[in-house]
Amino acid sequence: MAIWYKETQNDDDIILSSRIRLARNLKNYPFITKLNDEGREKIVKEIKKSVMSSNSVLKDMFEYTDITKTSPLERHLLKEERLISEDMVETKGNAGLLVDKDKNVSIMICEEDHIRLQCIYPGLNLEKAYDMADKIDNVIEETVDYAFSPQYGYLTACPTNVGTGLRASVMVHIPAINICGRMKGLADMLSKLGLTVRGLFGEGSEADGYLYQISNQITLGVSENEIIDKLKNAVESIVTMEKTLRQELKDNNLVAISDRVWRSYGTLKYAQSISGKEAKQCLSDCLLGKNMGIINTVDNINLKELMVLSEPAHISKAFGKDLKPEERDVKRAEFIRSII
Amino acid sequence: MAIWYKETQNDDDIILSSRIRLARNLKNYPFITKLNDEGREKIVKEIKKSVMSSNSVLKDMFEYTDITKTSPLERHLLKEERLISEDMVETKGNAGLLVDKDKNVSIMICEEDHIRLQCIYPGLNLEKAYDMADKIDNVIEETVDYAFSPQYGYLTACPTNVGTGLRASVMVHIPAINICGRMKGLADMLSKLGLTVRGLFGEGSEADGYLYQISNQITLGVSENEIIDKLKNAVESIVTMEKTLRQELKDNNLVAISDRVWRSYGTLKYAQSISGKEAKQCLSDCLLGKNMGIINTVDNINLKELMVLSEPAHISKAFGKDLKPEERDVKRAEFIRSII
């Protein structure tokens, strides 16, 4: 299956991707915060071997990257594709990364936990992502001793992950809920269900372009299936809410919403300098307009992909060098104009 | 000569038009504030006859409009073409208007003074405008007794107009002076010269689209030529200042100024609703960009004319009815998109 932002068949722009993350730690080592660099090196080797050795059924599936040897630009590129976390961008110690060829699965070694295994698919595909994560988890467990308590489940560096070690999350694009001032109500509702809403890059990050991650808060005392079912039901309600509000906007505020969409299109088409935040916002408006049948000039453009390609590191890479923010804004505008 | 906003040959977008206005009153009638409707009617008849009777050399030049019989929309149309003042739009009493076929000359009868004679030409043409105003003034004076004091000169309803009764003004488009934060300094400098800077529609009006009127404050104790020379010199300094600052913007802030110009173009091209103020601002940016060689997609568009045609009454007229403001903003956007 294609990487989450490459998907173009699914016409629905509300659910962009589904992600399952498992946190695992090795029994015979302290947690990362108590671990020296030698210990980290050993763990990286052990996990890498477990996945890539000739005995492993996964051996041809993954490519390994030694994070320690990557440049800041390379790390940011990985982060913008959602293959590593902000924490891993900043890490100073030994760390490794395994990514499959389709970029659906990534295994961060020595992030907050020894292992952070993630599967990400386009659309609403939580079960599929969980099945894949579970399969890989089982393969690793064949050769690696996990820190596991019969009473609590998997042990993790942060107590909030103890138990299943599972975080299930869905990335949603919900402009109408925002425009209609319903975000606060949504967050309250999710909180009551033990779910949470965050920006695109997780905890503390801003929600540019009306992109949010909905995920479970609780990992202890519930089964994996319960977590996934609850999240799936909540996301389905969010989709219904977003669709209803879009219809209301269309019925009652068509001029205002069309004006917003077309102005954003004009900005993307003609700006000579544009920040990542504004670009994402304008692309989000166009995505909304495309889905609402307001704008047809972006029919053949993958706006989701363009959002990723407009991120800072992707722009720097496309223009072959590290750019200062103001140069990057000019190059971003140039790049977007060449597509739109 | 074409009406001020139709001029397209003059490439310079800084000086849009030159205007001379003479205030005159009839000797045998009280000023407007003390005049009843019967008196106003007599004055309208007398002036109309003086200009349009078979003996007058001006008889084939003017068309007469009975302002009393005009609709609010018609009055606003005349105001937006700068043929009548805001005061005359609001007038409740008898009033008349004489306009020549090229719309360079207008004679308001029973505005603040009995006669307000105005000549307006494109570009910097103060002498020419004064010559025309003086010629017409002389013709009227052949048959009409003006209120004139050998000591003070022409007497007027407001003491600030006593003397020459002359207001000379030049409409300038000075975005760079604005963008560079030099308006305050300019206003102070002009004030010391006995000149003043006002918005497009005179006293108290806002300066949308960086359009300003520079005019004389003093009418008493100076000759007509002195007033015109002083204004002309000041305007020439303003043009130099504006050009210098445009060059500085080009040298030091080309990205920012190009970004501004092209974004405004995008707004005009795609907005589905736009206020008169924003439209004028965006048209002003495009006019600046055209003159600075930043944008070439508006080369064949008369942006000055488009500014007038985008004014509220012109939009209402073009769409054949009185529109509510929000409907007008939609129609304005539609109209501008059809041109840009």
Confidence of residue B56 (pLDDT cuts 50, 70, 90): confident
What is the C-alpha to C-alpha distance for residues B337 and B274, in angstroms, rounded to an integer?
11
Flag whether pLDDT at B321 surpasses 80: no
What pLDDT, on the 0 to 100 scale, is given for residue B53? 86
- Residue B207's pLDDT band, with cuts at 50, 70 and 90, is low
More confidently predicted of A54 and B124: B124
Q: Coil, strand, or helix at residue B95?
A: coil
* DSSP type of residue B293: T
Q: How confident is the model at residue A194 (pLDDT cuts 50, 70, 90)?
A: very high
State the pLDDT at residue A280.
94
Distance CA B184, CA A71 (A): 50
Which chain A residues have a beta carbon less than 8 Å from that of B326?
A: 255
Confidence class for position B54, pLDDT limits 50, 70, 90: confident
Residue B11 pLDDT = 55
| Per-residue model confidence (pLDDT) at position B289 | 96
DSSP letter at B202 equals B
User: What does the pLDDT average to over B130-148?
Assistant: 95
Spell out where A75-204 has E strands.
96-100, 105-109, 115-122, 148-149, 153-154, 166-173, 195-198
Average pLDDT over residues A141-155: 94
Interface touch B272/A266, C-beta < 8 Å: no
Q: Does B296 touch chain A (CB under 8 A)?
A: no
State the average pLDDT over residues A25-50.
94
Q: Is the pLDDT of residue B66 over 80?
A: yes
Give A 158-197 residues with CB within 8 A of chain B: none
Confidence band (pLDDT; 50, 70, 90) for B248?
very high
Confidence of residue A47 (pLDDT cuts 50, 70, 90): very high
The answer, yes or no, to whether residue A204 has pLDDT greater than 70, is: no
The answer on pLDDT for A201 being more than 70 is no
Q: What is the pLDDT of residue B180?
A: 92
Residue type, A325: P
Q: For residues A4 and A16, is the Cβ–Cβ distance under 8 A?
A: yes
- Residue B95 to residue A195: CA distance in whole angstroms: 72
Q: Is the dihedral of CA B29, B30, B32, B37 positive or negative?
A: negative
Work out the number of other CB atoms within 10 angstroms of the CB of residue A185.
12
> Has residue B292 got a pLDDT over 80?
yes
* pLDDT for the residue A313: 93
* B266 vs B277: CA distance, rounded Å: 16
| Identity of the residue in A255, A259, A266 whose CB atom sits nearest the CB atom of B266 | A266
Q: What is the pLDDT of residue A4?
A: 82
Contact (Cβ atoms closer than 8 angstroms) between residue A214 and residue A190: yes
Q: Do A270 and B263 touch (CB under 8 A)?
A: yes
Tokens of B14: 């800084």
A75-84 mean pLDDT: 94
Percent of chain B with pLDDT over 70: 96
Instruction: Find, among A84, A233, A235, A125, the residue nearest to A172 by Cα.
Output: A235
Confidence of residue A46 (pLDDT cuts 50, 70, 90): very high
Average pLDDT over residues B75-101: 94
Tell me which chain A residues have a C-beta less than 8 angstroms from the C-beta of B262. Answer: 270-272
Q: How far apart are CA B30 and CA B39, in angstroms?
A: 9
Determine contact: A256 vs chain B, CB below 8 A. yes
Q: Over the stretch B152-167, which tens digit does the pLDDT of each residue have?
A: 999 999 999 999 999 9
Q: Which residues of A touch B266 (CB under 8 A)?
A: 263, 266-267, 269-271
Under the banding of pLDDT at 50, 70 and 90, the label for residue B8 is low
**Virtual torsion, Cα A124, A126, A129, A130, nearest 10 deg:** -170
Q: Which residue among A263, A269, A333 places its CB closest to the CB of B271?
A: A263
The answer on pLDDT for A211 being more than 80 is yes
User: Residues B7-14: what's their mean pLDDT?
Assistant: 70
- Alpha carbon distances (Å) from A332 to A272, A312, B287: 9, 8, 26
- R_g of chain B, CA atoms, integer Å: 21
* Kind of pairing between the strands at B105-109 and B96-100: antiparallel
Contact A273 B255 (CB under 8 A): yes
Q: Do B259 and A271 touch (CB under 8 A)?
A: yes
**DSSP-assigned letter for residue A32:** G
Average pLDDT value over all residues in chain B: 92
Which of residues 304 through 333 in chain B touch A, CB cutoff 8 A? Answer: 326, 330, 333
**Which residue(s) pair with B99 in the sheet?**
B63, B106
**pLDDT confidence of residue B307:** 93
Give CA A325 to chain center in angstroms.
Answer: 23
Over residues A104-125, the mean pLDDT reads: 96
- Residue B333: per-residue pLDDT: 98
- Which among A259, A271, A273 has CB closest to B271? A259
How far apart are the C-alpha atoms of A141 and B188, rounded to whole Å? 80
In whole angstroms, give the CA distance from residue B70 to residue B30. Answer: 25
B205 pLDDT above the threshold of 80? no
Mean pLDDT value of segment A83-96: 94
Q: What is the pLDDT of residue A271?
A: 98
DSSP-assigned states of every residue in A40-83: HHHHHHHHHHHHHSTT-TTTTTEEEEEGGG--HHHHHHHHHTTS
Q: What tokens does B320 get? A: 């054949």
Q: What is the pLDDT averaged over residues B114-124?
A: 95
Q: How confident is the model at residue B59 (pLDDT cuts 50, 70, 90)?
A: confident
